[in-house]
Amino acid sequence: MATSLLSRVEAVAAPFIFGLPEPARRLIAGRPVRLDGQELALDAQLLLRLQQIARVSMSSDTPEEARRRIVESGTLVSGARIEPVRTREIDIPAEHGPLPATLYEPAGLPSGSALLVFFHGGGWVIGSRASHDNTARYFAKHSGVRVLSVEYRLAPEHPFPAATEDAIAAFGYAHAKAADLGADPERIAVGGDSAGGNLAAVTAQVTTRRGGPAPAFQMLLYPGVDASRRRRSRELFGDGFFLTDADMTWFLDHYAPAGVDRTDTRLSPLLAEDFTGLPPAYVATAGFDPLRDEGEEYAAKLRAAGVPVTLSRQPDLIHGYVNFLGIGRRFREATSEAAGALRVGLRA
């Protein structure tokens, strides 16, 4: 009860703080943070300060506790529900049983529209359709597409490759049942943030290599694409910038525990030998994100293989920014760019 009350108080306080004049926000956030030739956005720095005060962490002693915390902290940052967007609950048939999903349909969208199959982030351990509800609504409304948000299985209850299998099954269902979903089967994208970006990239690779059907576009938002080694951005930004080095280790140890080959391209798609023929892509990275460098390497490999790709580094932002739609302006600006890229990428 006390925790729920605190969350409600924080949910009221956060918009108030972000609505203060810039000098007051700067006073709360502290001196500007500059690192690697970049300056952290005031909105991002202020969010990190509030996270520090609230003692919010993505990892925890147990997955159950981490999942509870991420739900509670979501009330701080996701904002008021984006409307008008209609939702419909769907069960996707899978070998292990029905896979829950939510179809988001913006008002006035005709049948035969484009569709995004969306995979939420959370290190394959936390996160859900609920945690990314407003993110899915935002892409539906501002990209003018239907969005199928998938509740794939989480680790450690369901370790690698369970989430990958679910993602591939979800895309296959969306393509086969496009008419039932009001979608054009030739204009179906895959996308997601962080671990969801990993699942989208893997789905695009697997479906392309087996001869299709494959996505028409991929929207990869600060994706994790190589679990096999550390990069410079992880050393630079692994502490104090929302997603931490400890979080990443905790997530991977749950999803890909001892005995899993972390060079498997279904886990580390950056290590694939052949990138030719993959769908056009929008790859977004955040300047102050431990995953920045591997995401940008992925875009470079796509480009080298002749795949049309737009790489967009948001140099002043942190990991997770598409979930922070209810505070400040900078997070919405970056998410709006992604929505525009999706709209253009799926244009008939």
- Cα separations in angstroms, 1 against 4, 5, 6, 8, 58: 5, 6, 9, 11, 21
Could you tell me if 267 and 227 are in contact, meaning their C-beta atoms sit under 8 angstroms apart?
yes
Tens-binned pLDDT, residue by residue, of the chain (348 aa): 334 444 554 566 777 899 999 999 999 999 999 999 999 999 999 999 988 765 666 777 799 999 988 887 776 788 999 999 999 999 999 989 999 999 999 999 999 999 999 999 999 999 999 999 999 999 999 999 999 999 999 999 999 999 999 999 999 999 999 999 999 999 999 999 999 999 999 999 999 999 999 999 999 999 999 999 999 999 999 999 999 999 999 999 999 999 999 999 999 999 999 999 999 999 999 999 999 999 999 999 999 999 999 999 999 999 999 999 999 899 999 999 999 999 999 995
**Is 289 an active-site residue?**
yes
CA–chain centroid gap for 250, Å, is 18
Residues facing residue 102 across a β-bridge: 89, 149
Token pair recorded at residue 118: 């969306």
Active-site choice (184, 247, 289, 293): 289
End-to-end CA distance of the chain: 51
Residue in 113, 131, 194, 268 annotated catalytic: 194
189 torsion bin: left (phi>0), alpha (psi -120 to 50), beta (else): beta
268 is catalytic: no
Distance separating alpha carbons of residues 104 and 143, to the nearest angstrom: 12
Global pTM reads 0.95
- Helix (H) or strand (E) run with residue 183 in it: strand 183-193
Strand segments (E) across 127-172 = 146-150
Residue 226 known to be catalytic: no
What is the pairing mode between strands 38-39 and 34-35? antiparallel
3-state SS string for 209-271: HCCCCCCCEEEEECCCCCCCCCCHHHHHHCCCCCCCHHHHHHHHHHHCCCCCCCCCCCCCHHH
